Structure 1
Amino acid sequence: MEKAVNTSDVVKGVLAIVIASFLWGTTGTAAQFAPEISPLAIGAFAMGIGGVLLCVSARKSLVKDAPILFSTPLTFLFGSACVAIYPLAFYSSMRLSGVAIGTVVSIASAPLFAALLEYFLSKKPVSLKWFISFVFGAFGIGMLSMGKAHDAMALSASKDDQVFGVLLGLIAGLTYAGYSWSAKQHIDAGANSKSAMAGLFGCAAVALLPSLWFTGQNLFANTTHISVSLYMAVVPMFLGYLLFGYGLRTTEASKATLITLIEPLVATLFAIFLIGEVFKPLGWGGMTLVCLCLLIQSIRLPFAVKRYGKKATA
């Protein structure tokens, strides 16, 4: 039985996910200021330290909710493994295929994977509202990708790197959807949103942080590297996932990952205004469609549309 939530809480949840997506959209641009840092190191440090900070901030509720988290150990371990794999795949994808393509593939594939997980594991049907939003978002992301295709290809060392980067992006999308789904299961079971995110990220940090012994030699090589590393860990990871966990209290994982399609949009805008990348009209059209996708998820549709999707979670 689903919990009843009021409209105000739903709006706050959506807004929290939008803000989190905005913060995540800054990661690609931030990473460009420290290209000497291994993508494995930046991913492990950002997610690992972010996980530690989440555990510290949620220590009281984490102890209280530990029985809930461990009552479904397979779900907990699955989510934690997804958290550990995601940053390694995501940042490696951006390094191999370019920031634009890596971000687009990783984030754009997540809503589809999330919907499949909810359908097959949680037995939740896909709503018409979600499907309409996904169509707009998918076309928008595709146009956004083509709008930056030439710049991204220039960043790619070879065609093989491009293909491997896309495959890693798909893995990132799957694991992103995986830990979002897992966190949502724990929240629905009664765990505090901070506890759910902190538990998964804290467990993943146990695996991620030791890997820095082999990959993290350049993390603190100079002031720029230190600033980038700390920013990635504290702002997009710690604050971003606090907001994302809050949003998951009233938002299904499939809808939440769909809303985060704003991330590549933000990443693109930062690349244009801060890095100076030039955009084709097709890309601007893609941005418009992504905004439309977000708008559809943020407002109530007319009665006719709601009627078709009322048995599903919008």
Structure 2
Amino acid sequence: MANIDSTAAIHSHQSWIGIVQIITAATCWGTLGIFSTYLNQMGFSGWQVTILRIVTAAVIVLAMLPTLWPQLMKLSARQWFGLAMQSIVGVLGMSVCYFFAVSYVGAGPAVALLYTAPVFSLLFSKFLLSESITRKSIALAFMAVFGVGLTMLGEQAEVNWGILLGLASGMCYSLYGVLGKRAMHDAHPAPLVFFTSVVISACGLLLLPETYQTYTQLLTLPLSTWGYVLGLSLLGTVVPFGLYMKALEKLPASRASVFTIFEPLTAIALAMILLHQALSWIQYLGVTLILLAALLNAVVNGTTTRVPRWLKRRQTV
């Protein structure tokens, strides 16, 4: 009995550590909109902010290469293609759409629109992973859509490119998760998926002349600008993903996703405090509905998880 109690206490302690790691990671992710806004003010476009984030993060994660090299050498052409699609759509596509949305509508509404990802996940999971769509999930999707509609009714948030790009970032974000599940189907560990998702996008960006022009422009600016770039790539990308991976060793993914709600809350709070980007009351209502739908979606999916058909087929082989 004493051993059982001791094991339970250790498990509970580890769970709390995992929760703290998830909340810290989500808080770090919430700073992305702030750093991108500062870089916008320094003269960088949304596309240039994407370049700075991904290429700088790739340089940092190259430290993982010696450890992951044996696994990289075992990948087939089909597996490389799957990881490349996840990188281009889920990382590069999401970053471009999100940072442009921040420049159009501000950090608060942009991160709220990013969290429409569960709505798109319903469709993509149905067609790409053969997962079922429940009535509860459909209801939550409609709640999120209604919330998006309310964010468009504010005094400054109109139906413009910012709204559309924010929705596109949510779509790409959902594809990152769905394509990531397919990558996990090939038994790729999380560090490998993260490494390839950043490095493949960075390699693509290095083929563009604008990448070198962006870093040339960066060299002409004050040293504090490098702090924003490091914050964007290290604090907003590499560190939170590392924390998230460590937390998944202690918590189920469904439970961990609940605590990522601190990301948009952090982004909205920082936008109000540091950038003085206030929303109208109806926009706050819309943001609340979007975040509530995302939270309930995590809770509902955590209690009604079903094994997709493609995984069942793999288990019977």
TM-score after normalising by structure 2: 0.73
Q: What residue is the counterpart of 1:251 in the other structure?
A: 253
- Please give the alpha-carbon distance, in whole angstroms, between the structure 2 residues aligned to 1:69 and 1:236: 31
Q: Is it true that 1:46 corresponds to 2:63 in the alignment?
A: no
Between the aligned partners of 1:171 and 1:298, the Cα distance in structure 2 is 21
| Deviation of 1:27 (Å) | 1.6
Q: Which residue of 2 aligns with 1:125?
A: 132
How many residues are paired up? Answer: 288
Residue number in structure 2 paired with 1:171? 168
Deviations, residues 271-304 of structure 1 (Å, cap 9, x unaligned): 1122233344445545654564465466589xxx
User: Which one of 80, 98, 123 corresponds to residue 90 of structure 1?
Assistant: 98
Alignment root-mean-square deviation, CA = 3.7
SS in 1 for 2:116: helix
Q: Is the 8 A contact 2:68 2:192 kept in 1?
A: yes
Distance 1:193 1:10, change over 3 A: farther
Q: Separation in 1 of the partners of 2:238 and 2:138?
A: 31
- Which amino acid in 2 is paired with 1:201? V
Match of 1:103 among 108, 111, 116: 111
Structure 1: gaps of 5 or more residues: 1-6, 154-161
Shift of 1:226: 1.4
- When residues 176 and 288 of structure 1 are mapped into structure 2, their CA distance, relative to the original with a 3 A threshold, is closer
What's the counterpart of residue 4 of structure 1? none
Amino acid at match of 2:253: T
Residue 265 and residue 132 in structure 1: after superposition, are their counterparts in 2 closer, same or farther (change >3 A)?
farther
- The Cα of 1:122 is off from its aligned counterpart by 1.0
Deviation at 1:205, TM superposition (A): 1.0
Kindly tell me: are residues 240 and 142 of structure 1, through their superposed partners in 2, closer, same or farther at Cα, counting changes over 3 Å?
A: farther
Q: Which residue of 2 aligns with 1:213?
A: 212
Once the 2 structures are TM-superposed, how far is the Cα of residue 202 of structure 1 from its aligned partner?
1.0
Candidates 53, 76, 82, aligned match of 2:83? 76
Identity of aligned residues (%): 19
Q: Secondary structure at the match of 2:132?
A: coil
2:99 counterpart letter in structure 1: Y
Q: What's the secondary structure of 1:219's corresponding residue?
A: helix
C-alpha distance in 1 between matches for 2:75 and 2:17:
25
C-alpha separation in 1, matches of 2:145 and 2:16 = 23
SS of aligned partner of 1:32 = helix
With 110-119 and 123-132 compared, the bigger mean Cα shift is at: 123-132
Counterparts of 1:298-309 in structure 2, within 5 Å, are: 306=303, 309=304
- Are residues 38 and 29 of structure 1, via their aligned partners in 2, closer, same or farther at CA, if it must alter by over 3 Å? same
The two structures have a TM-score, normalised by structure 1, of 0.73
CA gap of 1:100–1:150, structure 2 versus 1, over 3 A, is farther
**1:272 paired residue number:** 272
Instruction: Identify unmatched segments of 5+ residues in structure 2.
Output: 1-10, 309-317
CA contact (8 A) 1:127 1:312 kept: no
* Pair 270,233 (structure 1): closer, same or farther in 2 beyond 3 Å: same
Please name the residue that 1:225 is paired with: 225
Distance in structure 1 (CA, Å) of the matches to 2:78 and 2:170:
26
Q: What do residues 39-73 of structure 1 show as CA deviations (whole Å, max 9, x unaligned)?
A: 21211111222133234236413532552575523
